[in-house]
Amino acid sequence: MKIYYTGIGCKMSGYHTIDEFLNIMKKEFTHKDWKHELTIFSRETHYQLQFKNWVLPDDFIFFSLDDWLEYSGAELVKDIIELTK
């Protein structure tokens, strides 16, 4: 299985293994230093910190693969050929 993700930190092709995708999410969101951005935008108005009833960025560490897929807009694909149909 591959994940098709074209957001922040993605590979040029957009295709990632599950581990690669989760590592991107950790680097770009979970382990990101949000202090600077939160001085500019409040947590309540920052678009990257609005998702369901989660308290972000604190709750990123509790995200499952399904949560990351939904949050990022990524797609789980069984085969790369599936996307060309």
Model pLDDT for residues 17-63, shown as the tens digit of each residue: 999 999 999 999 999 999 998 999 988 899 899 999 999 999 999 99
Residue 79, pLDDT > 80, answer no
Adjacent-strand bridge partners of 73: none
Token code pair at residue 56? 């972000």
- The amino acid at residue 31 is H
Domain boundaries, the chain: 2-83
Residue 80, pLDDT > 80, answer no
More confident residue, 71 or 81: 71
Residue 5, pLDDT > 70, answer yes
Sheet containing 15-16: which strands, arranged edge to edge? 15-16, 2-4, 75-77
Residue 11, pLDDT > 60, answer yes
